[in-house]
Every structure is written in structure tokens, then in C-alpha cells.
Structure 1
Amino acid sequence: MSNKFIFFLIFILSSFIYILFGGIDNIERKSFESFYSSDRDIDYYENLNSRLDSLLKLNSNTPSQMNLLASRLLVDGNYDQASKVFDFYIFTYPEIVDTNVYSSYAESIYLANDMNFNDQITLLINESLYLDPSNYKALTLKGLNLYKEKKFNEALKNWAIALDSVETEDQKKSLIVVMNSALKKLEINKNKSTN
């Protein structure tokens, strides 16, 4: 036997053993890891949608991977892509969707939609609040929607509940700022009605 044939046979046997014991899932997991840990250069952003589509087609994705990916895309400001992954997550794993997934999905659509509300966002906020009436993010978004509708008292009620559930000092400060703005609007409206 020639050396080339032996090399080829060893290569085929090694590949078979790897797939048999490591599985194709390991190869697919590497795709997820490379997507998640890749550098944020110009190629990353130019190929983001196609890479994301390829990743969502893998059968080895886990719910935690998808949730982590969607959350990271949201934090990185890739709102359309985050929405796509949250949508995939909700469709693929409906039995484990929690209040935070609904509220984060609502936030990603809201931000992708130039901070305008629509029926889908409202539905997601309501789903989130149904599961947890004190969800900070959902209450904040609901309050913002009420504020835009000039329902300042209702907005304040939602934000007051959210204030008890905030996770960081920055979130607390942001809520206090919008609450003060709503209070000023109420004061202006009160002064207009008494004149």
C-alpha cells in the first residue's frame, strides 16, 4: 500500500471516529462559538445577517445560546438582528419563554422601530407583564408608551412599580428622570386647566 492510501485511510477513519463520538453537533457548536466570539470588524457587520441566518439553521442550538446571542445583539445595538433571534427563540422554544424574553424582544423591536410603538410591541409587553407584573423592562416600556399618549398619571404608576424592581443605579436614575418629566407635564396641564 502506498503512503497516500494509508494517509487517506487514517484521515477517513479519524473523521469517522470524530463524528461518531464527538458528533456533528460539536462541529455546529463551533459555528456558534465562532459567531459569538468573533471580532467586531467591518466584515463582522457586513456579513452579520448571512452569518446569523446560517447559525439559526443549525439543529444544535440550545435555548441558552439563543437567549445569550439575542441579548448580546441587543446590547451591541443590532436591534433588527436581536429581534430576529428573539423571534426564533419564542417560535422554537415556546414552553420556556419567560417574562424577560418577552420584554427584551419588545425592547429590541421598539429600538429597531426608531423608538416608536406598534401592536406587536404592546402584545409582547402585555405577555411579559402577564408572567411577571413587576418586570422592570416591560413596565418601563409600557410607561414610555403611556407617556407618548400623554397619559402621564398611568405612566407614573407603571414607573413607580418598576422603580422597586430596578437592577442598577443607572436604571433607577433613568426612571427618576422620566418620572420627573411626567410630573412636570402634569403640572403644566394642571396650570393650563386652572387658567
Structure 2
Amino acid sequence: MTKTIFSYLTIFIFTFTLFFILQGYGSFKKLSFQDSYYAENNLDKSFFKQLNSNFLNSSEIMLSAKRFFYDEQFKLAIECFNFFINNYPDRVDSSVYAFLAESNYETNQIFTSEIISLIDKSLYLDPSDTRALSLNGLRFFKERKFKDALKNWSIALENSSNLKEKESLILAMNLALKELNK
């Protein structure tokens, strides 16, 4: 009995060593990446099962929506933001509408009437919401309404505390000024 266990163990160690020599450490790293990738995708699926079963509270939904947004999974972010708006209307603030508007814009790269309405709702709730102002400025810039774009971006610049956002706004404003002076 111990001889068979010993021989199976020897075969296993030999096979493992042979695999490691032929395939190398990179295969283990690749397998680890695949496991984490599939785990993340399954997490997203299980998240929406929980979302539909009302297992998550409003804070968890909002954090998940922002996670999807920053991971550039805009369709998932849109679902979360819409769920949040429909189920927790008393917790909706300007940032929710601004994030939803930007998620919709990033999905199609066009300004629809729905996106404009979301921007307007956001600015109604907070006229200094930098995300909504920046997006609104971009809309005006694309419509070649450079003065309106500059107005929105200057208000956003005034209210922003993020240095990278300020740099981006200054670059956009310089571009709008160049177009305005043509």
C-alpha cells in the first residue's frame, strides 16, 4: 500500500517537475491571470444577480457603479446608475446624473437628448458640478459654440480641486480660444 502511494507521489512530482521545466513559470502566471480574469467576470454576473435580488444597499450599488465607470465598463456602469436612480431617488445627487451622462457619452461618443437631459438635471442640482460642466463644455465645443464651452469650462476650472482635471480644462480652454480666434 505504501509502495503504491509512494509511486503515485513520485509520478506526480516527476510530472510537475517536467511541466515546470517545459512550460516554465510563465504558464503559472498566465493561469493565475486567467483565474483572476474569470473570477472578475463571474463577480460582475453575480453582482447583477444580487442587484436584482436587492441584497445590496445604496452605497454598495453606487460604489460598484463608480468601479465599473473607472474600469471603463460603461454599459455595466449605466445599469448600476439607472438602478440606483430608480430604487433610491432620495439619494440621487448631481454626481449620479453626471456619471450616468458621461457613461452614456463614452458608450456612443455622441450627445443624445438623454445625455443633455442628464447634464441639465445634474447642473440643476449643483450648478458647480465639475463633471457635468466639463461634459457640457465638450458638447458646446463639438457644436462649435466656443463661448459657451469656455463659460462651462471656466466654471468647472474654478470649482475643481483635482490638478489633473484643471490641467485638462486649461488645455481644452486654450483649444477653444484658438478656435474662437480663427
TM-score range, shorter chain: 0.7 to 0.9
Tell me the amino acid that sits aligned with residue 181 of structure 2: E
Give 1:187 deviation, angstroms.
Answer: 1.1
How far apart, CA to CA, are the structure 1 residues paired with 2:78 and 2:105?
10
Q: Mark the structure with the bigger radius of gyration.
A: 2
How far apart, CA to CA, are the structure 1 residues paired with 2:65 and 2:149?
28
> Runs in 1 of length 4+ with deviation above 4 angstroms?
none
Aligned runs of 1:1-195 on 2, under 5 Å? 41-44=36-39, 46-47=41-42, 50-113=45-108, 115-188=109-182
Equivalenced residues, count = 149
Measured against aligned partners, the alpha-carbon deviations of 1:132-183 in whole angstroms (never above 9, x if no partner) come to 0011000000000000000000000000100011121000000001100100
How far apart, CA to CA, are the structure 2 residues paired with 1:179 and 1:105?
24
Between the aligned residues of both structures, percent identity stands at 42
How far apart, CA to CA, are the structure 2 residues paired with 1:181 and 1:92?
41
TM-score normalized by the length of structure 2: 0.77
Give 1:112 deviation, angstroms.
Answer: 1.4
How far apart, CA to CA, are the structure 2 residues paired with 1:165 and 1:128?
15
How far apart, CA to CA, are the structure 1 residues paired with 2:35 and 2:106?
21
How far apart, CA to CA, are the structure 1 residues paired with 2:139 and 2:120?
12
Tell me the amino acid that sits aligned with residue 152 of structure 1: F
Give 1:50 deviation, angstroms.
Answer: 2.9
Structure 2 residue runs of 5 or longer lacking an equivalent are 1-33
